[in-house]
Amino acid sequence: MAITVGQLTIPTTGVSPKVASAEGTEDAIEALVQGVVNQLGALAEKNSVNGTDLDDAAVYGAKIADGAATNAKLANAPAQTLKGRLLGTSGPVTDLTPAEVRGLLDVLPSNEAASRAEGRLARNKGADYPLQKRSRNNIVSPASAVLNNLLLDAKVINADPKMYYRVAYQQNKALLDGENAYDWIIEEAPREGFVGTGTSTVIIGYQAAVYGAQQQIAPLDGIQTIVLHAAARPGVRVELTIDPTALPAGNLPISSLTSDKDAWSWVIDPANYMLRLPSADALAYTLTPTGDLAATWQSADTKYRVTLGKNGFNSLPNVKKLETAAPGASVWSTLTSSPSDWLPPLIVSASANGDAAPSNFTGGNHGSNGDASGTVTARNIMHQVRIDGAPASFGDKGGHASRIEIFIVNELMAYNTVTAGRYVVRQTFKVTIRAGAVEVVAKVKAIEACTVSRDYGPQMITDGFQTDALFLGGQYAAPQAFADPLNSGTKADYPTAWAVALRSTNGQLMSWIDRAYGIGAGAYVASTNPLIFKATDPNKKVYHAVVYGASLPLAAAQGYEWRGGYALQAPGLQPTGHHVAANVIRAGQSHDVLAAGGQDWLALPELGWS
List, for residues 269-322, the tens digit of each pLDDT value. 999 998 865 554 578 899 999 999 999 999 998 999 999 999 999 999 999 999
> Which pLDDT band, with edges at 50, 70 and 90, does 121 fall under?
confident
pLDDT tens per residue across span 399-434 = 888 999 999 999 999 999 999 999 999 999 999 999
Q: What is the mean pLDDT of residues 136-145?
A: 95
Q: Which of 210, 239, 274 is the last residue of a domain?
A: 274
Q: Are residues 226 and 307 in the same domain?
A: no
Q: Are residues 268 and 323 in the same domain?
A: no
At residue 120, the pLDDT reads 64
Nearest to 452 by CA among 421, 415, 418, 419: 415
Q: 39-48, 441-450, 525-534: lowest mean pLDDT where?
A: 39-48
Other CB atoms within a 10 A radius of the CB of residue 199 amount to: 12
Q: Are residues 269 and 353 in the same domain?
A: no
> Which pLDDT band, with edges at 50, 70 and 90, does 27 fall under?
very low
Q: Are residues 306 and 258 in the same domain?
A: no
At residue 151, the pLDDT reads 96
Q: What is the mean pLDDT of residues 258-267?
A: 96
38, 43, 49, 51 alpha-carbon torsion, rounded to 10° = 140
Q: Are residues 197 and 336 in the same domain?
A: no
At residue 233, the pLDDT reads 81
Q: Are residues 306 and 424 in the same domain?
A: yes
pLDDT tens per residue across span 461-479 = 999 999 999 999 999 999 9
Cβ 424 vs Cβ 350: under 8 Å = yes
Q: Are residues 464 and 576 in the same domain?
A: yes
The more confident residue out of 54 and 571 is: 571
Q: Are residues 491 and 356 in the same domain?
A: yes
Q: Has residue 486 been placed in a domain?
A: yes
What letters, b where the CB count within 10 A reaches 16 and e where it falls short, cover 343-358?
Answer: bbbbbbbbbeebeeee
Q: Give the Cα separation of 98 and 75 in Å (integer).
A: 15
What letters, b where the CB count within 10 A reaches 16 and e where it falls short, cover 481-513?
Answer: ebeeebbbbbbeebbbbbbbbbbbebbbbbbbb
Residue 435 burial by Cβ neighbours in a 10 Å radius (0-12, 13-18, 19+)? buried
Q: Give the Cα separation of 340 and 357 in Å (integer).
A: 23
Q: Has residue 562 been placed in a domain?
A: yes
Q: Has residue 478 been placed in a domain?
A: yes
Q: Are residues 266 and 292 in the same domain?
A: no
Q: What is the mean pLDDT of residues 26-48?
A: 42
At residue 327, the pLDDT reads 83
Q: Are residues 457 and 539 in the same domain?
A: yes
Q: Which of 274, 305, 326 is the last residue of a domain?
A: 274
For the chain, what is the domain count? 2
Q: Are residues 430 and 555 in the same domain?
A: yes
At residue 282, the pLDDT reads 78
Other CB atoms within a 10 A radius of the CB of residue 159 amount to: 23
At residue 99, the pLDDT reads 52
Q: Has residue 292 been placed in a domain?
A: yes
Other CB atoms within a 10 A radius of the CB of residue 97 amount to: 14
Q: Are residues 489 and 409 in the same domain?
A: yes
At residue 38, the pLDDT reads 43
Nearest to 566 by CA among 599, 544, 540, 596: 544
Pairing, β 423-434 against β 404-413: antiparallel
Average pLDDT of every residue of the chain: 84
| Residue 209 identity | A
Nearest to 122 by CA among 211, 15, 243: 243
HEC states along 313-361? Answer: CCCEEEEEEEEEECCCCCCCEEEEECCCCCCCCEEEEECCCCCCCCCCC
Q: Give the Cα separation of 596 and 392 in Å (integer).
A: 42
Cβ 10 vs Cβ 2: under 8 Å = yes
Q: Has residue 589 been placed in a domain?
A: yes
Other CB atoms within a 10 A radius of the CB of residue 112 amount to: 13
Q: Give the Cα separation of 605 and 590 in Å (integer).
A: 8
pTM: 0.64
> Which pLDDT band, with edges at 50, 70 and 90, does 119 fall under?
low
Q: Give the Cα separation of 214 and 237 in Å (integer).
A: 11
Q: Has residue 325 been placed in a domain?
A: yes
Q: Has residue 504 been placed in a domain?
A: yes
Q: What is the CATH number of the domain that holds 439?
A: 2.70.98
Q: Has residue 428 been placed in a domain?
A: yes
Dmax of the chain from CA atoms?
Answer: 116
Reduce the DSSP state of residue 577 to 3 states and report it. Answer: coil
The more confident residue out of 102 and 184 is: 184
Percent of the chain predicted with pLDDT > 90: 69
At residue 610, the pLDDT reads 72
Query: Would you say residue 556 has pLDDT above 70?
Result: yes
> Which pLDDT band, with edges at 50, 70 and 90, does 83 fall under?
very low
> Which pLDDT band, with edges at 50, 70 and 90, does 398 fall under?
confident
Q: Which of 212, 241, 274 is the last residue of a domain?
A: 274
Range of the domain at 368: 284-604
